[in-house]
Amino acid sequence: MRMYDLIMKKRDGGVLRRDEIEYMVREYTADHISDYQMSAMMMAIYFRGMNAEETSALTLAMAHSGEMMDLSAIDGVKVDKHSTGGVGDKTSIALTPMAAACGVKIAKMSGRGLGHTGGTIDKLESFPGFDTSLTSRRFVRQVNEIGVAIMGQTADIAPADKKLYALRDVTATVDQMSLIASSIMSKKLASGADAIVLDVKTGSGAFMKNEEDAFALAKEMVTLGRMAGRKTVAVISDMDQPLGFAVGNALEVREAIQTLRGKGPADFTALCMTLGAQMLIAGGAASDEREAYAMLRHSVEDGSALKKLAAFVEAQGGDPAAVYDTSLLPAASLVREIASDRAGYVSHIDCQEVGICSLLLGGGRETKESVIDLSVGLVLHKKVGDYVAAGESLATIYANDEEKLRQAAERFLRAYRFAVEPPQRGELIKGILS
């Protein structure tokens, strides 16, 4: 078999056979296929798509490209959660300790930033010393001991996805439904959890810009999970504007901590409750949404969720003091307000542009080798529906470089649209597929 022939077949609209997909994944993982040929294949798939059989074959080949984790040494139902990616999406940082404080066993594998979106692993590294490269043995022990562990993808778990994820990030081939479904589900299947709660984003800051595509992606992933014998639920949620106010790694960690203190943004808190309820039900800790909501609220009110975050940070080598004193998190040297040059009601925010602003500041990767700056980003003061007077601050920008700050601020201003009348606000939760 030759990679050249497979690229040509897909480029011309053909359907790849299971053995062809297995060959491609195996040889790429072993470094026998070059990045440039795989980039061409990703672009061909981007334009030609894959059918359900191809997507399933790619998912299983990537899941089996490394170790399939055995979590049977952990008692009870192990729950994993994954977002398809968004801007300001710090959900896992607040939600996993909340759910763990309610008795759910969280065994989660997370990714780094992708395209204009942030990644949980990068965000967690804002805690000084935090280690995301756990061995399977340490991962299992930690879930048994404190109820929650989050690891990055090691070279052993779905290594094919790890390589492809980094390649897609820098070749503009992220936002393709089958590639997203197989990337996420291969990791979820390899990391061994019994139940998977998916947060499928839709809107200008998501990879799936329209709701129809987001529902189709959700359906595809739920089917892949079910076929592999995992209880799988998908929540389809809004990403037409950033979630909460903070965008940027350490800034988002601060907002997640505020949320665990009961002082988080309304939209972010509501999403944590919706996803958390699904996790509690899937994990057998609550019998229905009403009970789950009450338990999650209680975990914030009695401080047990915040305590769980500190225990989780400490268990992974991070400084738990940063949970109680967020001045210990990375901080930028330049802090400026971005004043609005117009007045009116905010009618639309190009959420992807806001993500790109954070990336331009250094908060995301431009190449596979880029080192990111955890301290930079933006904190929005105005969201859709808010009234803004001319000269009023739309956001605070955090940077370490004057030129990057200037470019990002200019671009940020162009991401906002205004109207004379207040716009209709969209629903945060578009639907739940289970």
Q: Which is nearer to ligand URA, 352 or 375 (CB)?
A: 352
The distance of closest approach from Cβ of residue 42 to ligand URA in the complex, given in angstroms and rounded to an integer, is: 11
168 is a catalytic site residue: yes
Residue 79 CA: distances (Å) to CA of 232, 285, 311? 10, 11, 19
DSSP class per residue in 293-327: HHHHHHHHHTSHHHHHHHHHHHHTT--THHHH-GG
Q: Which is nearer to ligand URA, 239 or 280 (CB)?
A: 239
434 is a catalytic site residue: no
Q: Which is nearer to ligand URA, 190 or 286 (CB)?
A: 190
The distance of closest approach from Cβ of residue 246 to ligand URA in the complex, given in angstroms and rounded to an integer, is: 20
- Tell me the residue type at 202: T
Residue 213 CA: distances (Å) to CA of 202, 206, 220, 354? 8, 11, 10, 22
Q: Which is nearer to ligand URA, 20 or 80 (CB)?
A: 80
Site string for ligand URA, 382-401 (x = CB under 6 A): --------------------
Residue 84 is a binding residue for ligand URA (CB under 6 A): yes
Residue ranges in 297-326 that form contacts with ligand URA under rule CB under 6 A: none
82 is a catalytic site residue: yes
Q: Which of 183, 204, 299, 358 is catalytic?
A: 183
Site string for ligand URA, 50-79 (x = CB under 6 A): ------------------------------
- Three-state DSSP string of 103-165: CCEEEEEECCCECCECCHHHHHCCCCCCCCCCCHHHHHHHHHHHCEEEEECCCCCCHHHHHHH
Residues 6+ apart with CB under 8 A from 265: 243, 244, 245, 255, 259
Q: Which is nearer to ligand URA, 173 or 299 (CB)?
A: 173
The distance of closest approach from Cβ of residue 409 to ligand URA in the complex, given in angstroms and rounded to an integer, is: 28
The distance of closest approach from Cβ of residue 217 to ligand URA in the complex, given in angstroms and rounded to an integer, is: 10
Residue ranges in 156-185 that form contacts with ligand URA under rule CB under 6 A: 165, 174, 179-180, 183-184
Residue ranges in 183-222 that form contacts with ligand URA under rule CB under 6 A: 183-184
The distance of closest approach from Cβ of residue 179 to ligand URA in the complex, given in angstroms and rounded to an integer, is: 6
Q: Which of 90, 105, 116, 187 is catalytic?
A: 187
In the chain, helix, strand, coil percent, each to 5?
Answer: 45, 15, 35
The distance of closest approach from Cβ of residue 255 to ligand URA in the complex, given in angstroms and rounded to an integer, is: 21
127 dihedral zone (left: phi>0; alpha: psi -120 to 50; beta): beta
188 is a catalytic site residue: no
Size of the site for ligand URA (CB under 6 A): 10
Q: Which of 82, 105, 231, 430 is catalytic?
A: 82
Q: Which is nearer to ligand URA, 111 or 118 (CB)?
A: 111
- Residue 269: phi and psi, rounded to 5, are -60, -45
Q: Which is nearer to ligand URA, 121 or 148 (CB)?
A: 121
297 is a catalytic site residue: no
Interface with ligand URA (CB under 6 A), residue from 85, 159, 362, 377: 85
The distance of closest approach from Cβ of residue 218 to ligand URA in the complex, given in angstroms and rounded to an integer, is: 13
Q: Which is nearer to ligand URA, 152 or 265 (CB)?
A: 152
- Tell me the residue type at 138: R
Paired sense of beta strands 344-349 and 393-399, if any = unpaired
Q: Which is nearer to ligand URA, 243 or 305 (CB)?
A: 243
Q: Which of 161, 175, 240, 267 is catalytic?
A: 161
- Are 109 and 157 in contact by the 8 Å Cβ rule? The answer is yes
The distance of closest approach from Cβ of residue 115 to ligand URA in the complex, given in angstroms and rounded to an integer, is: 8
Rounded to whole angstroms, how far apart are CA atoms 282 and 288?
Answer: 10
Kindly state the tokens that stand for 349.
Answer: 């925010």
Rounded to whole angstroms, how far apart are CA atoms 375 and 366?
Answer: 17
Rounded to whole angstroms, how far apart are CA atoms 286 and 297?
Answer: 13
Interface with ligand URA (CB under 6 A), residue from 66, 86, 97, 111: 111
- Tell me the residue type at 373: D
Rounded to whole angstroms, how far apart are CA atoms 176 and 179?
Answer: 5
- Are 197 and 107 in contact by the 8 Å Cβ rule? The answer is no
The distance of closest approach from Cβ of residue 91 to ligand URA in the complex, given in angstroms and rounded to an integer, is: 13
**CA Rg value for the chain:** 21
Residues 6+ apart with CB under 8 A from 34: none
Rounded to whole angstroms, how far apart are CA atoms 372 and 404?
Answer: 14
Binding site for ligand URA (CB under 6 A): 84-85, 111, 114, 165, 174, 179-180, 183-184
Which residues are known catalytic residues? 82, 161, 168, 183, 187
